[in-house]
Structure 1
Amino acid sequence: MKHPLSLYLQSIPGFFHDGGASMGGSPRPRIDYWPTLLPMTALTHRAVRADGRTIDVPPPPKSETTAQPVHPEPAETTAAHRVRRAPLGAIAHARSGDKGGNANVGVWVPDERAWPWLRATLSTTELRRLLPEAKDLDIVRHEFPHLRAVHFVLRGLLGTGGSSNLRIDQVGKAIGEYLRAKQLPIPEELLETPDH
């Protein structure tokens, strides 16, 4: 017998229903996500040890915000290889989800030969074309060359949060599969299984 939540992260690309949540057929409270900052003096920091003893942790003498890394957008290139239209998922994996009102999606390729193509192809402009619902959003793009991955933060895609929007994918879990289902011109040699 399958586990009752075995289909929890599986669905039609672009559609996700939180199988653990109640069905939306009747009225229910909606919770709105509202991030804020509190002064450090308003909170008590302490660690609780396994034996129940507590250790007070004083606030640091100073703190600072570090800047996000910036990766330049790839330059537009013309295809020098024979290409075939195929779903991005034929050569790439993805994972997506929610971070408050933002959604994020990471796309990576297991084949190191595909990394230069993925990096050059999956620009912010191309993501806006592939995901029209994100065309007017602020999008942050990062590259992880050692993981052969490109990561995007889609600011505001989920409104004020997963529990308060009416999208068919309230928490952004299906964005990765939705993106993988999109057809792109992919070099034919990347679509062929390499001999091992």
Structure 2
Amino acid sequence: MLELLTGSGLAVAAGLNAYIPLLILGLAGRVFDFVELPTAWAWLENPWVLVVLGVLLVVEIVADKVPVVDSVNDWIQSVIRPVAGGIAFGTGAASETAVVTDPASFFTSSAWVPVSIGVVLAFGTHAAKMLARPALNAATAGAAAPVVSAAEDISSVLLSFMALLVPVIGFFVLLGMITLVVLRIRRSRRARLLN
């Protein structure tokens, strides 16, 4: 059960920023003894992979802080974040997956299930973020972009660490985040109806 909570937290974090949970997973697997990545995902610990993830994270952080560029970046990330969520869920759920060099064995085994769950979770988070950003930019003339982006990055880091260290608390934080999003959507709908 804890593995599913860990995987869910990491996948949702990937929906906010694709590279943060993957970088944290790779570094944790490399540095800490209590984090042992499944064999199929051990490549996340490779120093070159960590460097590439670090560079991509810097690009993502900068691009996400600039109004209009953040929306373009969100469209580009529409594929990347769900894939990262699938990887993060598959790794966090400690699923042994078939090596992807043989796609037939990947899909005939049940290895695709955790990856698919992670893709759905990350895409849901990403879609909510992608839909909210243009409205925030328009309402604040772009002033909200760096603040909201920083909050998303901090949330992704905290959610990733909590998913690894205390997945039950991470699950409750995740529920709290979902509740906040739902409440904000309801408030904005009410405000539109009143206007």
Relative to the length of structure 1, the TM-score reads 0.27
Higher strand share: 1
Higher relative contact order (CA 8 A, sep 6+): 2
